[in-house]
Amino acid sequence: MQGVARNFFTLAIIYSLCGMALGLHMAISQDHGQMPTHAHTMVAGWLMSAVFAFFYHLFPAIGQKMLATIHFWLTAISGIGLLIGLYFLLAGNAAIEPLVGISSMGFYAAMLLFAFIALPAVWKKA
């Protein structure tokens, strides 16, 4: 695994470790107030980043293009902002809501960019 695929897979592992640590913390403390943050970390972070990694691993030529690099950084920055913002928002800090909103829109834009990158590749006639 190389390039953008490796970057996405590394990010996926980091998300999984953070999400699992948060899940363990909630279980031990019996405080499940961060359940939405945990779920977003595991699905939007771990799962989506792993899917992106395997897509770029299966299509290495696409992973070498500038759009793939933009996709990685847009996903990484907006995803981290979303999860940190969501954590603090659910902890009672309403002032962080603009970060959550902006990061959510950035994360959605990253998914749109992935659709633009991936769909032509998987529908290409052999």
| Residue 30 main-chain phi, psi, to 5 deg | 60, 20
pLDDT of residue 50: 96
Predicted TM-score (pTM) of this structure:
0.90
For residue 56, is it within any domain? yes
Give a yes or no: residue 90 inside a domain.
Answer: yes
Q: Which residue range(s) make up the domain with 41?
A: 1-121
Confidence of residue 110 (pLDDT cuts 50, 70, 90): very high
Give the per-residue pLDDT at 125. 78
The answer to whether residue 63 is domain-embedded is yes
In a domain, 87, yes or no: yes
The whole-number pLDDT of residue 55 equals 97
**Residue 97 scores a pLDDT above 80:** yes
**What DSSP string runs through the chain?**
--HHHHHHHHHHHHHHHHHHHHHHHHHHHT--TTHHHHHHIIIIIIIHHHHHHHHHHHSHHHHTSHHHHHHHHHHHHHHHHHHHHHHHHHTT-GGGHHHHHHHHHHHHHHHHHHHHHHHHHHH---
Q: What is the mean pLDDT of the chain?
A: 94
pLDDT in tens, 56-95: 999 999 999 999 999 999 999 999 999 999 999 999 999 9
Would you place residue 106 in the very low, low, confident or very high pLDDT band (cuts 50, 70, 90)?
Answer: very high
Average pLDDT over residues 32-45: 91
Residue 97 in any domain: the answer is yes
Q: State the Cα–Cα distance between residues 38 and 2, nearest whole angstrom.
A: 28
- As a whole number, mean pLDDT of residues 35-43 equals 92
Counting the structural domains of the chain, the total is 1
**pLDDT confidence of residue 54:** 97
Query: 69 lies in a domain?
Result: yes
Contacts of 62 (CB under 8 A, 6+ apart): 56, 68, 117, 118, 121
Q: Is residue 112 part of a domain?
A: yes
* 126 located within any domain: no
pLDDT of residue 126 exceeding 80, the answer is no
